[in-house]
Chain A
Amino acid sequence: MNFNFAFNLPEAVPSALAVVWFLLVAVLWVGYLVLEGFDYGVAMLIPFLGKSEKERRVMINTIGPVWDGNEVWLLTAGGAMFAAFPAWYATLFSGLYLPLFLVLVGLIIRGVSFEYRSKHPNTKWRGTFDWLASIGSFLVPLVFGVGFANFVIGLPVVTDPNNPALFVVATSQANVGVTPYFWELFSPFGLLGGIAVVALCLFHGSIYLVLKTKGQIHDRAKKFAKTMGLITIAGGAVFLVCQNLFWAPVFLSGLNWILVLVAAVALIWAWLNIGKGTSFVATSVAWLAVALGIFIRMLPGLGFVDAGTRTVFDASGELFGMNAFAAASTDGTLLIMLVIALIMVPIVLAYTIWVYWTFRRPIGVSNIPDDVVADAK
């Protein structure tokens, strides 16, 4: 009987498919940030910018038809990480246990709110769900922002002595399964990441609101976007400069400085053109530049570092085992999934564009029918 068999590291064959999938995961995250980023922003602002019940309903109806589809980008990104990089998904999701729980709570309370707030005319009922939508939509990008900042710094991992293929997020071997890696996440740079991502969601979302609404709510959103733009530009600049000064990527550090420039130009362009369609394109480009810069920094260690050396190299100077190649699925799986992704992503994009076209018209309080509950009678 052989219970105590030795585990060996899977042979890390540098696979071009692993690189392609790393890029695809980045693309899915960008899709998520660009699309759901604005509905987080809009939902966060419901209790603040919506001064009357009808105005709050205008805000909800600008994102109502699309928020659920937007959220699927996150689920697809998670599913793609699971299928293409099982070890990445496993180490990351178990390592950031409590933060991800907060994300789930945020997603639960906001998702239910959109559907349930209109189902009862009571002001208290609606107020409760407005706040749940707002808090949930704040919590999720906040945690992801803190998370991404920590991927830039590098989450420390150790291996299981019995199972060197298994990496666990912990500061040392002794802490595995004893002290969760949690408070360390909230370093100044970690918090800055959280604030920057929330700020960009608010800026992106208010720009969307300006484009999608009419009347007083439109004017109020415009005023807010003007202020929020300045905060976002300042916060984003500090974050991106710190990132590239202190945690320059192993590869392509020149490109990363160009991405910082792209993000800066895009944000300033957006701020100067609030109310024009190009402003939304500009904040989307900013998301793209910021996310790509972070993903480039996450090569090859996937946002992890060796707990001892705090770099992607172990004590003997070799590339450590938690990297994009060792964590990847087999080429067979990666290839099949790639074919499916190459067919499906354009189809999804096509019908998503059709949906945004269908709901292209800006709405104002005059478009809001009296009440759905009265309607149901």
Chain B
Amino acid sequence: MTAEILARWQFGITTVYHFLFVPITIALSLLVAVLQTMWVKSGNVRFLRLTKFYGKLFLINFAMGVVTGIVQEFQFGMNWSEYSRTVGDIFGAPLAMEALIAFFLESVFLGVWVFGWDKLPKKVHLATIWLGSIGTLISSIFILAANAWMQNPTGAEFANNRAQMTDLLAVILNPVAATTWTHVIFGAFMTAGALVLGAAGWNLVRVNREHPNSDDVADFRWATRFGAWVLIVACVGVVVTGHIQGQVLTDLQPMKMAAAENLQKTTDCAPFEIVPGLGVPCVLSFMATNDPGAEVRGMDDLAAEYSAKLAAGKPLDDRNQLQVTTAAAGAGIWGQKDAVDWIPPVMPSFWSFRFMMLLGVIGVAIGIYTLVATKGTKIPKGGKGWTAMMILTPLMPLFASSFGWLVTEIGRQPFIVNGVLSTHAAVSPGVTAFEVGMTLVLYTLIYAVFAVVEVNLMLKYIKLGMPHYLREPEVQTDEDAPMSFAY
């Protein structure tokens, strides 16, 4: 295998793995902040207990998110140095801004939140979780702006044999960034809501069996329904933003849409295929353009159009300044010396798209079922089916997010920067296949070991249930007294 193929696998594995922790970090930190706010406002100890219970799960997950995120920042330079050199003028800026504006905020204040229970007045301590949580949200804006630039390189021109920034606002306000961000954030809340639901729902039937009518039953019941509502509301957001995103995609990356839908020929009233060969007429046209009769361009026609444009020295999309200036400089598809295979891997795109939707639907269906099962004074009896559902719920939107990213990134091929720079030309020229291959194996092994550790800890702390004998945290003035919390 070549260094290029190995580097692509490495990016895929490390990124998908990293993104298993990101949605929970972003959305669960905010839900914990909401719970803690409810405690500070109402003084109701239920919300303090829930804050502590979910806070632990959040931190177990957060640690993995942090350490796997560092790999991401280094990886661009290590495996994709020619990409880094040629687009750093634009792509580096959001990464540096993310570190300065968001990552400091998140890391510093979450550290204070963990250890600050008896060091700070209640309200100041509450502010730290909010600041940390807002940090994760701002972080996602910059990272998704950087990713959106690869999908639709705005605010840049081709000069000095590299991409140079012409307009920072155009980079940040990229339409792809706006639609992706909302879709990703709603997806994150689906995952976190489902985790809140699953952890509480599993405990609910257990504590109801062991200590019926206890506070634990009431609190877990509340949390189960809270999680279900977050999951369902976020799901509505995911569907709406996903629909808008599909239209932006059809406009700016029609090849990605065609590949995800396995659409060979340009078609009016294009069908949505549930599996290859089994299509519902006109649904794809509606998804892509809001008009059931509209034409959707197919892969063969797009490929022919692109080949003709390249041969004529024209940009693939003449609305994009970077593509236009690249073509005007005679640079063709920048760095691409071989014939171009315009079509991304079709079946991986096609199936990832369907799995994403299917898993999301299963997740939200469990959410609705849970609401019904806990309606009024009802408490489910439990059993194997219930346990399985509670374990599956958080995994559904989590893996749906992974599949969503597979569609996004596989569908971008053969480009690393859409229409401008090929993935093939972006790889580090001095790095050997041995180096990439060995580190790929080692990353995978280390990540696998830590995945086992993390899942076991998560389960352990879910099973431990609600913290009991909680002291109301207050500022400790005795210098020799034990801290209310320490590692």
A349-370 residues at the B interface, CB under 8 angstroms: 351-352, 355, 358-359, 361, 363-364, 366-370
User: What is the interface size of chain B, counting residues whose CB is below 8 A from a CB of the partner?
Assistant: 94
| Residues of chain B contacted by A219 (CB below 8 angstroms) | none
CB distance from A26 to the nearest CB of B (A): 15
Does A23 lie at the interface of the complex (its beta carbon under 8 Å from any beta carbon of B)? Answer: no
Which of A4-12, A243-251, A297-305 is near enough to bind chain B?
Answer: A4-12
Q: Which among A2, A93, A165 is the interface contact of B332 at CB below 8 angstroms?
A: A2
Among residues of A, the one whose C-beta sits closest to the C-beta of B480 is A366
- Are B111 and A66 in touch, CB under 8 angstroms? yes
B53-91 residues at the A interface, CB under 8 angstroms: 56, 59-60, 62-64, 66-68, 70-71, 73-74, 76-79, 81-82, 84-91
Does A345 lie at the interface of the complex (its beta carbon under 8 Å from any beta carbon of B)? Answer: yes
- Are B482 and A368 in touch, CB under 8 angstroms? yes
CB distance from B21 to the nearest CB of A (A): 11
Does A183 lie at the interface of the complex (its beta carbon under 8 Å from any beta carbon of B)? Answer: no
Contact bitstring B153-170, A, C-beta under 8 A = 1, else 0? 000000011101110100
Q: Is chain B's binding surface mostly helix, strand, loop or mixed?
A: helix
- Are A79 and B104 in touch, CB under 8 angstroms? no
Among residues of B, the one whose C-beta sits closest to the C-beta of A368 is B486
Does B278 lie at the interface of the complex (its beta carbon under 8 Å from any beta carbon of A)? Answer: no
Does B99 lie at the interface of the complex (its beta carbon under 8 Å from any beta carbon of A)? Answer: yes
- Are B93 and A64 in touch, CB under 8 angstroms? no
- Are B88 and A82 in touch, CB under 8 angstroms? yes
| Residues of chain A contacted by B119 (CB below 8 angstroms) | 358-359
- Are A372 and B486 in touch, CB under 8 angstroms? yes
Does B435 lie at the interface of the complex (its beta carbon under 8 Å from any beta carbon of A)? Answer: yes
Does B368 lie at the interface of the complex (its beta carbon under 8 Å from any beta carbon of A)? Answer: no
Q: Which among B71, B84, B86, B107 is the interface contact of A82 at CB below 8 angstroms?
A: B84
| Residues of chain A contacted by B481 (CB below 8 angstroms) | 366-367
- Are A1 and B450 in touch, CB under 8 angstroms? no
Q: Which among A89, A103, A344, A372 is the interface contact of B487 at CB below 8 angstroms?
A: A372
- Are A83 and B95 in touch, CB under 8 angstroms? yes
Contact bitstring B99-118, A, C-beta under 8 A = 1, else 0? 11101100111111011100
Does A315 lie at the interface of the complex (its beta carbon under 8 Å from any beta carbon of B)? Answer: no
- Are A80 and B85 in touch, CB under 8 angstroms? no
- Are B100 and A94 in touch, CB under 8 angstroms? no
User: What is the interface size of chain A, counting residues whose CB is below 8 A from a CB of the partner?
Assistant: 96
Q: Which among A83, A168, A370, A377 is the interface contact of B92 at CB below 8 angstroms?
A: A83
Q: Which among B82, B114, B430 is the interface contact of A176 at CB below 8 angstroms?
A: B430
Given A116-B457, A367-B480: A330 and B431 within 8 A (CB)?
no
In angstroms, Cα B78 to Cα A169, docked, is 12
- Are B111 and A64 in touch, CB under 8 angstroms? yes
- Are A170 and B64 in touch, CB under 8 angstroms? no
Does A117 lie at the interface of the complex (its beta carbon under 8 Å from any beta carbon of B)? Answer: yes
- Are B111 and A69 in touch, CB under 8 angstroms? yes
- Between A and B, 9 residue pairs with Cβ closer than 8 Å are A64-B115, A65-B111, A76-B96, A90-B82, A90-B84, A90-B85, A120-B460, A180-B434, A351-B109
Query: Which residues of A are at the interface with B, using a C-beta cutoff of 8 A?
Result: 1-5, 7-8, 10-11, 57, 60-61, 64-69, 71-72, 75-76, 78-80, 82-87, 89-95, 97-98, 100-101, 103-105, 107-109, 111-112, 114-120, 160, 165-166, 168-170, 176-180, 329-330, 332-333, 336-337, 340-341, 344-345, 348, 351-352, 355, 358-359, 361, 363-364, 366-370, 372, 375-377
6 nearest A-B residue pairs (beta carbon): A86-B88, A93-B77, A83-B92, A115-B63, A94-B81, A10-B160
Query: Which residues of B are at the interface with A, using a C-beta cutoff of 8 A?
Result: 3, 56, 59-60, 62-64, 66-68, 70-71, 73-74, 76-79, 81-82, 84-93, 95-101, 103-104, 107-112, 114-116, 119-120, 160-162, 164-166, 168, 310-311, 313, 329-332, 336-338, 428-432, 434-435, 439, 442, 446, 450, 453, 457, 460-461, 464, 467-468, 479-487
